[in-house]
Structure 1
Amino acid sequence: MVSAVRTVLGDLPPAELGVTDSHDHLFFRSPRLPGQELDDAPAARAELAAFRAAGGSAVVQWTPYGLGRRAADLPPLSRATGVHVVCATGLHQDVHYAEDTPAALRGRLADVFVAELTEGIGDTGVRAGLVKVAGGFHGLDAHARWTMTAAAEAHHATGAPVAVHLEMGTAALDVLDLLCGELEVPPHRVILGHLNRFPDSVLHRQAAESGCYLAFDGPSRTHHATDWRMPDAVRALAEGGFGDRLLLGGDTVVAAARSVDGGPGMPYLLRRVRPRLAAELGADLVEQVLTENPGRAFAVDWR
């Protein structure tokens, strides 16, 4: 078997992925964010084009099942802009769904994940390239354990990576205990998101020592301790020998955050975060974090 990143246009050799935003959203709808939906295809195209113009080559969309992925729109957007797009299956926290959505998936969640990874999302033919799930604030509730158990089953069936939203960056070790301990997902198949929101260097190192990937994503947020602490956190991990475990992402989740709507958007990752980290870590390591690491993190020997 040959490792490949599963994009919306088909499987891609990891070396061809290029400069990657490892966690972002082109489309996203949630009842928790009324009136702030990412649900505009022309705006998504403009944002991808702006990312491309800034030097970007690939975007991994972490929008999971039931939150307005618009999977059918992703291939034409990828073709039009020349940006590789990876789509997710999975399930977010229950607060992002109407009550009947998780209820309708009881007893078949892992099967849905596997089908979306191997056959396609609905009748679109677009196959997901990762499973996205979510923890809670400093712990895992029953919903998180259910979705992570299904994600682990899907991983064992397909090889797919499991990407985890950590609520405010917390519960990383609880997630690893469950996914990698109890459910036996290999650590290098797990990606922990939002660690920058909980800037505990000891916790970061403990998570890195497991062998998982650490995503520092969502820069420029006024309500998160991100930009000014992220360089120190990333430097500490790199100096500890974990530079090959690091990923960077923009995590644009509301329309106002798009660059084409006046926000920082996807280009900010390359326009401002990349040179800031290069000044701290050196350009070579930052290039590794943006290119080589995503290629390894999202490439799979698909089953």
Structure 2
Amino acid sequence: MVATVRTVLGDVPAAELGVCDAHDHLFLRSPLLPGQELDDTGRAAEQLVAFRALGGRAVVQWTPYGMGREPEALAALARSTGVHVVAATGLHQAAHYPPELPGRLRDRLAGLFVSELTEGIGSTGVRAGLIKVAGAFHGIDAHSRLTMTAAAEAHHRTGAPIAVHLELGTAALDVLDLLCGELEVGPQRVVLGHLGRSPETAVQREAARAGAFLAFDGPSRAHHATDWRLPEQLTALTDAGFGGQLLLGGDTTVPETPGMPHLLNRLRPRLEQALGKEALDTILVGNPARAFAWRVSSPSEG
């Protein structure tokens, strides 16, 4: 069976994904970020064009349900720029929504996720390619359990990967205990985001030993432990044998953040010097092709 990635323009062979920004946002809206919405189609196009000019070929957008995904605009941008774009279903932390929304969706979350993965987001026909959920700070709260349980059900029904926002990089092991233990999701189907924001090497290695993909996707906030520690963190994990489970992303969350081109024109040269070209190509090309494919058996295969 050929592994495929579900993009906003349809399924593509995973091997054709190319250089991938594994976690970013072209459109995003949240009450936690008033006046800082990502809602400018022109700016999104500029980001994609610049990213492609630097060799980028795919962007995985983690914006979930109810946060301004703009699926039709995503499809139009993918078509006009030639960049593969993956959209997300799922639900972020409760703080990103009106207070009544999570409760209103409670009994139909899994069905909603499945519908957006298989039929389309709303009436657009643009299908999501992954399920995005979120942990709490240093733990799993009731909302996290609700959304992760629904995500696991949707995963078991579709084979779609699950991407997890770790709040300030924490609770990685709690998330894996729930998703991969209690809810029986294969760890190679889980992408843990923001691990660089809590640079605790023991936790990073334990999460890697469990089999999950580890996303380092932090340039969006200067006060996080992100860019300056990235070479040493990735080198340590690669040297420990986990190079086949690492991912890189820009995570553009507000307009003033560096954006997708920063990943390739600023971070890539530093990381290539630290890791070597072959190892970095694995992180940017080979690993995303497996992490976001709908059905693969092991993070070491491919």
Pick the TM interval, shorter chain.
Answer: over 0.9
Aligned partners of 2:67, 2:138: CA distance in 1, in Å? 24
Is 1:294 matched up with 2:288? yes
Aligned partners of 1:180, 1:46: CA distance in 2, in Å? 39
Superposed, 1:12-161 pairs within 5 Å as 12-161=12-161
In the alignment, which residue of structure 1 is the partner of 2:262? 268
In the alignment, which residue of structure 2 is the partner of 1:2? 2
In the alignment, which residue of structure 2 is the partner of 1:209? 209
Name the SS of the counterpart of 2:225 in structure 1. Answer: coil
Aligned partners of 1:51, 1:168: CA distance in 2, in Å? 26
Aligned partners of 2:276, 2:96: CA distance in 1, in Å? 39
In the alignment, which residue of structure 2 is the partner of 1:260? none
Aligned partners of 1:146, 1:168: CA distance in 2, in Å? 20
Alignment gaps of 5+ in structure 2: 297-302
Is 1:247 matched up with 2:241? no
Q: TM-score by structure 2 length? A: 0.97
Name the SS of the counterpart of 1:300 in structure 2. Answer: coil
> How far does the alpha carbon of each residue in 1:242-268 deviate from its partner, in whole angstroms, 9 at most, with x for none?
0000000000011122xxxxxx21000
In the alignment, which residue of structure 2 is the partner of 1:261? none
Name the SS of the counterpart of 1:255 in structure 2. Answer: coil
Aligned partners of 2:94, 2:32: CA distance in 1, in Å? 11
Is contact 2:87–2:129 with CA below 8 Å preserved after alignment? yes
In the alignment, which of 268, 279, 284 is matched to residue 273 of structure 2? 279
Is contact 1:220–1:227 with CA below 8 Å preserved after alignment? no
Is contact 1:179–1:185 with CA below 8 Å preserved after alignment? yes
Q: Residue 101 of structure 1: CA displacement? A: 1.6
Q: Residue 103 of structure 1: CA displacement? A: 2.0
- Count of matched residue pairs: 296
Is contact 1:22–1:60 with CA below 8 Å preserved after alignment? yes
Aligned partners of 2:135, 2:116: CA distance in 1, in Å? 22
Name the SS of the counterpart of 1:273 in structure 2. Answer: helix
Is contact 2:135–2:175 with CA below 8 Å preserved after alignment? yes
Q: Residue 124 of structure 1: CA displacement? A: 0.5
In the alignment, which residue of structure 2 is the partner of 1:182? 182
Name the SS of the counterpart of 2:106 in structure 1. Answer: coil
Aligned partners of 1:282, 1:219: CA distance in 2, in Å? 21
Name the SS of the counterpart of 1:106 in structure 2. Answer: helix
Aligned partners of 2:201, 2:218: CA distance in 1, in Å? 18
In the alignment, which residue of structure 1 is the partner of 2:223? 223
Aligned partners of 2:150, 2:31: CA distance in 1, in Å? 24
> How far does the alpha carbon of each residue in 1:37-68 deviate from its partner, in whole angstroms, 9 at most, with x for none?
00111111111111111110000000000000
Is contact 1:214–1:246 with CA below 8 Å preserved after alignment? yes
Task: Say which is worse superposed, 47-56 or 161-170, in terms of deviation.
Answer: 47-56
Aligned partners of 1:202, 1:12: CA distance in 2, in Å? 36
In the alignment, which residue of structure 2 is the partner of 1:200? 200
Aligned partners of 2:220, 2:142: CA distance in 1, in Å? 32
Aligned partners of 1:275, 1:201: CA distance in 2, in Å? 23
Aligned partners of 2:227, 2:43: CA distance in 1, in Å? 25
Q: Residue 85 of structure 1: CA displacement? A: 0.1
